[in-house]
């Protein structure tokens, strides 16, 4: 308190108090910003087209979502940290999907992966909702 906001400070959503989830968002923000960068995504598509043994953008997105959203999160602090990381991963993937500078092949892969993820999310949500009692 009393110091001007700089890029060296974590973003906070808790007012003047330290936001304990802010560092949990800041670290993956750097990772996913680089991982889902439009130029890197284009290189992944191209390098897999030249050599099928290389990981492609599909693989990278699938593995990222497997490591984040598709892992269970509890109701405790660790679960909140996991959900913060999940949010950043999806946010960066959506940013890539909306990037006008991204190659058409990248947009096609990202769109397909988001559709697959949406289907998975709908089925996961349906499994957790209990039927109404008569």
Q: What is the mean pLDDT of the chain?
A: 86
What percent of the chain has pLDDT above 90?
A: 63
Angle at the Cα of 101 from the Cα atoms of 105 and 33, rounded to 5 degrees = 90
pLDDT tens digits along 54-68: 999 999 999 999 999
Domain ranges of the chain: 22-125
DSSP 52: T
pLDDT tens digits along 111-128: 999 999 999 999 987 776
Within the chain, what is the greatest distance between any pair of CA atoms? 58
Going by pLDDT thresholds of 50, 70 and 90, the confidence category of residue 1 is low
Burial 95-106 (b: 16+ CB within 10 A, else e): bbbebeebbebb
Q: Are 13 and 19 spatial neighbours (Cβ–Cβ below 8 Å)?
A: yes
> Could you tell me which of 82, 90, 87, 29 has the C-alpha nearest to residue 61?
90
């Amino acid at each position: 308190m009393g110091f001007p906001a700089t890029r060296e400070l974590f973003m906070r959503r808790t007012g003047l108090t330290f936001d304990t989830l802010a560092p949990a968002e800041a670290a993956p923000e750097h990772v996913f910003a680089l991982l889902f960068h439009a130029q890197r995504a284009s290189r992944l598509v191209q390098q897999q087209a030249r050599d099928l043994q290389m990981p492609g953008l599909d693989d990278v997105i699938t593995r990222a979502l497997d490591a984040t959203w598709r892992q269970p999160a509890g109701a405790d602090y660790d679960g909140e940290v996991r959900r913060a990381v999940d949010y950043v991963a999806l946010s960066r993937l959506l940013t890539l999907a909306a990037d006008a500078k991204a190659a058409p092949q990248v947009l096609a892969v990202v769109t397909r992966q988001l559709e697959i993820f949406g289907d998975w999310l709908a089925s996961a949500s349906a499994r957790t909702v209990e039927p109404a009692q008569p």
